[in-house]
A and B are shown apart, each in its own frame.
Chain A
């Protein structure tokens, strides 16, 4: 086993559902503070790869390393559960459908996990909720329930909820795909703000413009493999692979 030298390191990731192979020997390194975008059509394996990083969809082969610790190491069941719960505290995740807890206010959504897992007092938790909700521009709605918020507002609260655990890495799984077009921008703004603060992020997205503007590096995936990767200026302007060109032609209207 070689020394891990990158912040996030995915080595020969392989994943099958029965006879269907959705990830085929993918390797990927992400450095601290980098923002990596993953694009590709649905079924390309991009969400599966993202969800493998925090073991929501465990790999069937290969290794995932985060900050010097192997995420998917082999351990007896009980110890593995403990290890993975600990690892996940360092990895924030934002979902396409928000998955806010509907029976909790924005404040409670943000503070539930820190109170339960880090033993914060109510006063500390309230301060944390105010900080995090202010950061995403949702402080005025701190005591609203999710059912009283718009989609964009829900997603911003969901981002605050993930940030409240002070993660080292943030994963975004098509965070704006379920939003009405006019609500996309407010969520993108929050993600840009995180980018400016040098949060390490891996972003699965359908929005090429957004990927081009915030990502340091973009990966194009198709049929379980990374077809091409590079800085957005290169990948979007001068793709070398036919499959990438084909995909970009379909997804960027009026691209030259």
Chain B
């Protein structure tokens, strides 16, 4: 049985729906990981000891265990304590928090690297430390970490395939389902790979746009 790509258009709607889910989950998880990354970084650096300790446990869980296990835990495990999340929500939360911990590490380093004269200048104008962090230090730290966070977001896109195991019909699972009907793994896995590549290019393009916009304001 040779390769036959002419079969693709017939199943394109299923694949495109999968592309939609992959983009949706990736974008939502990326935003969550970005916002939580900032919050986690501030907690890690500035929160009182009592708040920092439970947070370190969360950090350890998300950094030190497989993402696959985390997804199982959030989707199947939380049901037992009465939290029944739709699969895509569990997927977004799992991916989002997992990458938030990595983003937090980057943002912490960047916050510490902001010149201490910036905090001083803000404080001499009468800003409180919290106001100075919010208006002056964190915006600069975030600008500095856009390139490495972009790399994390591309890793997030690739890892979004893992949410197929909790039954979200994103691109990888859609491809598998079509293959189940057609027995044409090569054609449809190649097609899925091509779509991942295109989404990847789009993300890099967006990242370059953002970097260019902030380059003069650094």
B140 A103 Cβ-Cβ under 8 A: yes
The count of chain A contact residues (Cβ–Cβ below 8 Å) is 29
- The A contact surface, by secondary structure, is mixed
Residues A56 and B124 in contact in the complex (CB < 8 Å), given A101-B118, A112-B135, A147-B217: yes
The answer, among A97, A103, A145, A161, for a CB contact under 8 Å with B125, is A161
The answer, among B124, B129, B136, for a CB contact under 8 Å with A54, is B124
Q: Does A7 contact B (CB under 8 A)?
A: no
Q: Does B216 contact A (CB under 8 A)?
A: yes
Partner-binding segment picked from A87-95, A119-127, A197-205, A218-226: A87-95
A117 B216 Cβ-Cβ under 8 A: no
Q: Does A81 contact B (CB under 8 A)?
A: yes
The answer, among B118, B126, B143, B214, for a CB contact under 8 Å with A88, is B126
Q: Does A102 contact B (CB under 8 A)?
A: yes
> Chain B 106-138 against A: per-residue CB contact (8 Å), 1 yes, 0 no?
000000000101101111111111010001100
Which of chain A's residues 59-101 have a Cβ closer than 8 Å to chain B?
Answer: 81, 85-86, 88-89, 91-93, 95, 97, 99-101
Residues A85 and B218 in contact in the complex (CB < 8 Å), given A99-B121, A103-B143, A116-B135: no
**Inter-chain contacts of B122 with A (CB < 8 A):** 101, 113
Residues A95 and B143 in contact in the complex (CB < 8 Å), given A112-B135, A113-B127: no
The answer, among B126, B128, B217, for a CB contact under 8 Å with A145, is B217
The count of chain B contact residues (Cβ–Cβ below 8 Å) is 23
Residues A95 and B123 in contact in the complex (CB < 8 Å), given A81-B128, A102-B217, A147-B216: no
Q: Does A104 contact B (CB under 8 A)?
A: yes
Q: Does A162 contact B (CB under 8 A)?
A: yes
**Inter-chain contacts of B118 with A (CB < 8 A):** 99, 101
**Inter-chain contacts of B129 with A (CB < 8 A):** 81
**Inter-chain contacts of B86 with A (CB < 8 A):** none
B120 A56 Cβ-Cβ under 8 A: yes
Q: Does B167 contact A (CB under 8 A)?
A: no
Q: Could you list some 27 contacts between A and B, CB below 8 A?
A: A54-B124, A81-B128, A81-B129, A85-B128, A88-B123, A88-B124, A89-B125, A93-B124, A99-B117, A100-B121, A101-B118, A101-B121, A101-B122, A102-B140, A102-B217, A102-B218, A103-B140, A103-B143, A112-B125, A113-B122, A116-B131, A116-B135, A145-B216, A147-B218, A148-B216, A161-B125, A165-B125
* Residues of A participating in the B interface, judged by any CB pair closer than 8 Å: 54, 56, 81, 85-86, 88-89, 91-93, 95, 97, 99-104, 112-113, 116-117, 145, 147-148, 158, 161-162, 165
Which 4 pairs across A and B sit closest by C-beta, in order of nearness?
A: A89-B126, A99-B121, A113-B125, A99-B117
